C-alpha cells in the first residue's frame, strides 16, 4: 500500500512514524510519501523515519497512492483536496485529521471523483508543540481516532481506514460528522475557549495584583495547559465548529451559573452536590 | 523548638515530614508533636516519620509548643484555635494553612491571648488525595507559601514562621489577607468552580451523546483535574472566600464573553488576538 501524507507537522509526522513502525513489523507493507510545504522538511522527515520519500508537488505525491491523509491545518484541508483530486488513482481513499467534520465531509463529498472515496478522520491527540520535531510514533497509541460514517460512506474504504488507524495503534470510534462536532465542541473546543478566557481574566487581575503571577500554582497550570496551544489551530476550530462551540459554551455557562447561585446563597449542600457530581463523573472517566 | 501540628492529613503530614528532614539535617532542632483526630493516625504518622510524638488532647499537645500549625480543613481552624489558646505558652506562635485568610486572620487576632502571636499561612500546594498516606516531604519544596502580614503582625513571629517555611524549602511570599484572598480566588478557587462546571456541562451533554465519554482526551483531563479534589475543601473555599470567588468568576465571564462575541462574529483576527494573549501570558508564567 502506498500512503501519501500531505502536511508534515506534529500529526502528519507522528502518523508517518507510527505507520513506518508497523511497516517494519510487517502489519502493512507500505511506502510513505510525504508532501510538506517546505523542501527542507522532506530531508528532516526522512532522517526522522517519518517518510520513505517526499515531494513538494502534491499531484506527483498522491499519484498512485492508495490512501491520502490530509494532515494540514483545518483551513487548508479543502483547498489541498481541490488541488490533488485530479491526480487520484481509481479506488483511492482520502482522509483528513481535522478536528471539525461536518463542513469538511460535506465539501469533500462534493469534490471526490467517481470511484474515489473520502472518509473523515480525527485523531484525538495532540500537544502544544505542533511542529515535525515534536512528532512521536506513539502519539496516537491508545488514543481515540474518530472516523466519520454517513449513509454515503463507502464501507470498504471505511474498513481500510480502520486498518490504517489500527496499524497506528489508535482506537477507532465511528461517528456521524454532526455528532462528532458536538462531542468535540464539548470536550475539546469549548475547554480551549474556557482555558483561554481563564488565563485572560487572570492576566487582567494581575494588573492590579501582580502577586497573582507568583501564586499561579500547579492547579492553575494544568487547568490552562491547552491555552498554550497554537492560536492558529484555535481560530480554525472556533470558526469551523462555530455552532458546536457556542452551544457547548452555553451549556457550560448554565452549569457555572448553578455553582455561582449556590455560592451566592452560601448553600453548602448545593455546592457540595455540584462538586461531588463533577468529581464522580470525572473520576469515572479516568479511573 | 517544639512544633505542634494540629491535623495530620496531606498538608499536616507533609509539613511534619519536611520539618523532620530539616531537623535531621540540623537546620532546626525540633520535636514535632502531632494532634490528629483519630488515635491510629498517631502510630501511622510516627511510622511514616511525620511526627516524633502524638496525642489526641489538643491542650496537652500544644502545651510548651513554640509554634502551633493548624492543618485542619478551613472550617475547623477557628474552632480548634478556640480550644487550644488557653494552653499556649507565653511567646507561642500559631499559624494555619487555610486557603482563605481574611476571615481567619481577623478571627484569630481577636482570640490570641496577650503575648502570643498569630501569623496566617497558606502553602500553595496540594493534590487530589488529601489523606496522610499521600503526604510527601517534598510537597511544599519550591512552592509558594504565603504568610500574612498586617500592621498588627508581630515581626519576630513573622520571622520565625519565615524560618519554618524555609526549613520546609517553601518560597515565602508575604501578603495582606485581603490581597491573598483576591489572588487565590483568581488562580485557585475560581478555576475549581470553572473546572467543576465544565465537567458538569459535559456530563449533561453525555446524556444525549454518550460518545463524549470515549472522546474526553488528555486536554479535557488536564483542564478538569482539580475537579477531582475533595468536595469538602471546595465547599470551605467557596463559602469562606465567597466575595473573592464570585468576583473572579465575574471577571472570567467577561473574558469568556469577549471570546464568544468574536466566535459569533467569525472575527478571526479578534479570536487570534485573544488566544495569543492567553498563550503569551501563560507561556510567560511557566517558561
Q: Which helix (H) or strand (E) holds A83?
A: helix A74-84
* pLDDT value at residue B27: 53
| Segment A51-108, tens digit of pLDDT | 999 999 999 999 999 999 999 999 999 999 999 999 999 999 999 999 999 999 999 9
Q: For residue A143, what is the nearest residue in chain B, using CA coordinates?
A: B217
* Distance of alpha carbon B196 from alpha carbon A277, whole angstroms: 8
Please report where in the chains the cell 463529498 appears, as a residue: A109
* pLDDT value at residue A119: 98
Q: Do B258 and A200 touch (CB under 8 A)?
A: yes
Kindly state the DSSP code that residue A124 receives in the 8-state scheme. Answer: -
B220 touches chain A (CB under 8 A): yes
Judgement on whether residues B104 and B217 belong to the same structural domain of the protein = no
Instruction: Output the furthest CA–CA distance in chain A (Å, rounded).
Output: 67
Please report the residues numbered 135 through 164 in chain B whose beta carbons come closer than 8 angstroms to any beta carbon of chain A. 143-144, 146
* Mean pLDDT along residues A261-283: 97
* pLDDT value at residue B24: 54
Examine the pLDDT at B26 and tell me if it is beyond 60. Answer: no
| Segment B268-277, tens digit of pLDDT | 999 999 999 9
Q: Edge-to-edge strand order for the sheet containing B31-35?
A: B53-54, B31-35, B2-6, B67-70, B93-96, B117-119
Q: Do B254 and A212 touch (CB under 8 A)?
A: no
Could you please report the per-residue DSSP string of B116-154?
-EEE-EEE----S--SGGG--TTTTTT-EEEEE--TT--
Residue A75: CB atoms within 10 A of its CB come to 15
Judgement on whether residues B266 and B139 belong to the same structural domain of the protein = no
Cβ neighbourhood burial of A221 (10 Å; 0-12, 13-18, 19+): middle
* pLDDT value at residue B129: 76
| Segment B67-94, tens digit of pLDDT | 999 999 999 999 999 999 999 999 999 9
Angstroms from A40 CA to nearest CA on chain B: 28
Q: Please report, rounded to a whole number, the percentage of residues in chain B having pLDDT higher than 90.
A: 90
Question: A-B interface: how many C-beta pairs under 8 angstroms?
Answer: 306
B198 touches chain A (CB under 8 A): yes
Judgement on whether residues B156 and B188 belong to the same structural domain of the protein = no
Examine the pLDDT at B149 and tell me if it is beyond 80. Answer: yes
* Distance of alpha carbon A43 from alpha carbon A58, whole angstroms: 17
* pLDDT value at residue A171: 95
Residue B96's contacts (CB-CB under 8 Å, 6 or more residues apart) are B69, B70, B71, B77, B81, B104, B108, B120, B121
User: In A47-65, which positions are buried (b, 16+ CB within 10 angstroms) versus exposed (e)?
Assistant: ebbbbbebbeebeebbbeb
* Mean pLDDT along residues A271-287: 95
Q: Do A278 and B195 touch (CB under 8 A)?
A: yes
For B179, the closest of A196, A211, A245 (CB atoms) is A211
For A263, the closest of B213, B245, B286 (CB atoms) is B245
Q: Do B263 and A235 touch (CB under 8 A)?
A: no
* Listed residues A130, A158, A175: the one ending a domain: A175
Please report where in the chains the cell 492543618 appears, as a residue: B71
* Listed residues B159, B175, B191: the one ending a domain: B175
Please report where in the chains the cell 509539613 appears, as a residue: B15
Residues of chain A in contact with residue B247, where contact means CB-CB under 8 angstroms, are: none
Q: How far is CA A151 from CA A90, A148, A175, in A?
A: 21, 10, 11
Give the sign of the dihedral formed by CA A216, CA A221, CA A223, CA A224.
positive
A265 touches chain B (CB under 8 A): no
* Mean pLDDT along residues A39-48: 97
Q: Is the separation of the CB atoms in B3 and B30 below 8 Å? A: yes
For B222, the closest of A196, A214, A225 (CB atoms) is A225
Examine the pLDDT at B29 and tell me if it is beyond 70. Answer: no
* Distance of alpha carbon A184 from alpha carbon A100, whole angstroms: 8
Judgement on whether residues B87 and B60 belong to the same structural domain of the protein = yes
Nine-digit cell at A100?
A: 471539525
* Mean pLDDT along residues A110-127: 94
Judgement on whether residues A147 and A166 belong to the same structural domain of the protein = yes
Judgement on whether residues A88 and A8 belong to the same structural domain of the protein = yes
For A260, the closest of B126, B229, B246 (CB atoms) is B246
Q: How far is CA A222 from CA A269, B124, B185, B274, B278, in A?
A: 28, 14, 16, 19, 14
Angstroms from B124 CA to nearest CA on chain A: 6
Please report where in the chains the cell 456541562 appears, as a residue: B201
Looking at A143-147, B124-128, B173-177, which range is the least confident one? B124-128
> The CATH number of the domain where B263 resides is what?
1.10.3660.10
* pLDDT value at residue A24: 54
Judgement on whether residues A31 and A143 belong to the same structural domain of the protein = yes
> The CATH number of the domain where B159 resides is what?
3.40.50.720
* Distance of alpha carbon A237 from alpha carbon A233, whole angstroms: 6
Residue A63's contacts (CB-CB under 8 Å, 6 or more residues apart) are A87, A89
* Distance of alpha carbon A94 from alpha carbon A74, whole angstroms: 15
Judged by DSSP in three states, A68 sits in strand
For B235, the closest of A253, A275, A281 (CB atoms) is A275
Judgement on whether residues A160 and A197 belong to the same structural domain of the protein = no
Judgement on whether residues A63 and A93 belong to the same structural domain of the protein = yes
* pLDDT value at residue B21: 86
Q: Please report, rounded to a whole number, the percentage of residues in chain A having pLDDT higher than 70.
A: 97
**Phi and psi for B116 in degrees, rounded to 5?**
-125, 160
The total of structural domains in chain B comes to 2
Compute the 3-state secondary structure of chain A and give helix, strand, coil in percent, each to the nearest 5: 60, 15, 30
* Distance of alpha carbon A36 from alpha carbon A49, whole angstroms: 15
Q: Do B278 and A217 touch (CB under 8 A)?
A: no
Angstroms from B211 CA to nearest CA on chain A: 7
* Listed residues A140, A175, A210: the one ending a domain: A175
Judgement on whether residues B99 and B227 belong to the same structural domain of the protein = no
* Distance of alpha carbon A219 from alpha carbon B126, whole angstroms: 8
Q: Do A225 and B228 touch (CB under 8 A)?
A: no
Judgement on whether residues A188 and A133 belong to the same structural domain of the protein = no
- Nearest CA-CA partner of A274 in B197, B213, B253, B220: B197
| Domain span including residue B88 | 2-175
* Distance of alpha carbon B172 from alpha carbon B206, whole angstroms: 44
Q: Is the separation of the CB atoms in A33 and A61 below 8 Å? A: yes
| Segment A1-43, tens digit of pLDDT | 899 999 999 999 999 999 998 765 455 567 999 999 999 999 9
Nine-digit cell at B86?
A: 488557653
* Mean pLDDT along residues B96-107: 95
Judgement on whether residues A123 and A15 belong to the same structural domain of the protein = yes
Range list of H helices, chain B: 10-24, 39-48, 58-62, 74-84, 102-111, 155-167, 177-184, 190-208, 211-215, 218-223, 231-240, 242-264, 268-286
**Conformation bin of residue A169: beta by default, left when phi > 0, alpha when psi is -120 to 50:** left
Please report the residues numbered 165 through 184 in chain B whose beta carbons come closer than 8 angstroms to any beta carbon of chain A. 171, 173, 175, 179, 182-184
A219 touches chain B (CB under 8 A): yes
Please report where in the chains the cell 511570599 appears, as a residue: B173
Q: Do B197 and A221 touch (CB under 8 A)?
A: no
* pLDDT value at residue B146: 97
Q: Do A198 and B232 touch (CB under 8 A)?
A: no
The whole-chain average pLDDT of chain B stands at 94
* Distance of alpha carbon B20 from alpha carbon B194, whole angstroms: 37
pLDDT confidence bin for A129, thresholds 50/70/90:
confident
Q: Edge-to-edge strand order for the sheet containing B121-123?
A: B121-123, B144-148, B171-175
Q: Do B219 and A226 touch (CB under 8 A)?
A: yes
pLDDT confidence bin for B38, thresholds 50/70/90:
very high
The whole-chain average pLDDT of chain A stands at 94
* Distance of alpha carbon A5 from alpha carbon A113, whole angstroms: 19
Residue B280's contacts (CB-CB under 8 Å, 6 or more residues apart) are none
Looking at B18-27, B28-37, B118-127, B179-188, which range is the least confident one? B18-27
* Distance of alpha carbon A223 from alpha carbon B177, whole angstroms: 25
- Nearest CA-CA partner of A132 in A220, A5, A44: A44
Q: Do A191 and B219 touch (CB under 8 A)?
A: yes
* pLDDT value at residue A29: 61
Examine the pLDDT at A233 and tell me if it is beyond 60. Answer: yes
B256 touches chain A (CB under 8 A): yes
Q: Please report, rounded to a whole number, the percentage of residues in chain A having pLDDT higher than 90.
A: 89
Q: Is the separation of the CB atoms in B7 and B51 below 8 Å? A: no
Judged by DSSP in three states, A200 sits in helix
Q: Do A183 and B215 touch (CB under 8 A)?
A: yes
Amino acid at each position: 500500500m502506498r500512503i501519501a501524507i500531505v502536511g508534515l507537522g506534529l500529526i502528519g509526522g507522528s502518523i508517518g512514524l507510527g505507520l513506518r513502525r508497523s511497516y517494519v513489523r510487517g502489519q502493512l507493507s507500505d511506502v510513505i510519501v510525504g508532501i510538506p510545504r517546505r523542501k527542507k522538511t522532506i530531508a528532516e522527515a526522512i532522517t526522522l523515519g517519518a517518510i520513505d520519500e517526499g515531494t513538494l508537488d502534491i499531484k506527483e505525491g498522491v499519484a498512485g497512492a492508495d490512501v491520502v491523509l490530509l494532515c494540514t491545518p483545518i483551513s487548508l484541508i479543502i483547498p489541498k483536496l481541490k488541488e490533488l483530486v485530479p491526480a487520484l488513482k481509481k479506488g483511492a481513499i482520502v482522509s483528513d485529521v481535522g478536528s471539525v467534520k461536518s463542513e469538511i465531509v460535506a465539501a469533500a463529498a462534493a469534490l471526490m471523483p467517481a470511484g474515489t472515496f473520502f472518509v473523515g478522520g480525527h485523531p484525538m491527540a495532540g500537544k502544544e508543540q505542533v511542529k515535525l520535531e515534536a512528532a512521536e510514533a506513539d502519539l496516537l497509541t491508545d488514543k481515540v481516532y474518530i472516523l466519520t460514517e454517513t449513509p454515503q460512506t463507502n464501507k470498504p474504504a471505511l474498513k481500510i481506514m480502520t486498518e490504517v488507524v489500527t496499524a497506528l495503534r489508535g482506537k477507532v470510534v465511528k461517528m456521524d460528522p454532526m455528532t462528532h462536532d458536538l462531542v468535540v465542541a464539548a470536550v475539546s473546543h469549548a475547554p480551549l475557549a474556557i482555558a483561554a478566557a481563564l488565563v485572560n481574566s487572570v492576566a487582567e487581575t494581575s494588573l492590579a495584583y501582580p502577586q497573582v503571577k507568583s501564586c499561579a500554582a500547579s492547579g492553575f497550570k494544568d487547568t490552562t495547559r491547552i491555552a498554550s496551544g497554537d492560536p492558529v489551530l484555535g481560530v480554525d476550530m472556533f470558526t469551523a465548529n462555530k455552532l458546536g462551540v457556542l452551544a457547548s459554551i452555553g451549556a457550560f455557562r448554565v452549569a457555572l451559573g448553578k455553582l455561582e447561585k449556590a455560592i451566592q446563597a452560601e448553600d453548602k449542600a448545593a455546592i457540595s452536590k455540584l462538586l461531588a457530581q463533577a468529581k464522580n463523573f470525572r473520576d469515572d472517566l479516568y479511573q
